[in-house]
Amino acid sequence: MFSIKRGHKQVPVAGCKVIDGSIRTKHKIKVIRGEDVIQEGLSIAELRVFKDIVQEVHNGMECGIDLGKIKDDSFELIEGDEIHAVINEASTPTAVDVWGY
């Protein structure tokens, strides 16, 4: 994850780069910090490329991921977290690297 900014809805938007596969708004995600999974089953509220709202982002592209309102108030994304998109439990997750500039 590059950086975390507050969008116009006052929710965190993670600046990311897709490093393997692709990510879609319908995917569930899990957040990995170091070697620990810190959140699972989160939904993607919006994907953005520049200022455009998109449904899918492909390998090598940068994007903004808006997770919307998260029920767990203690959860916070930080630079360096990895976001993995999961289509279903039987599939291989797509890695989206989350790191600072």
Q: With cut-offs at 50, 70 and 90, classify the pLDDT of residue 1.
A: very low
Q: What is the pLDDT of residues 29-63, one digit of tens each?
A: 899 999 999 988 888 999 999 889 999 999 999 99
Quote the percentage of the chain above a pLDDT of 70.
Answer: 74
Provide Rg for the chain, Cα atoms.
12
Q: What is the pLDDT of residues 2-23, one digit of tens each?
A: 445 555 556 677 888 898 888 9
Do 18 and 35 form a contact (C-beta atoms < 8 A)?
A: no
Q: In 1-101, which ranges are E strands?
A: 4-6, 12-18, 22-24, 28-33, 36-43, 46-49, 52-54, 56-58, 62-66, 82-86, 94-97
- In angstroms, the CA 12 to CA 22 distance is 21
- Look at the pTM and tell me if it is higher than 0.85: no
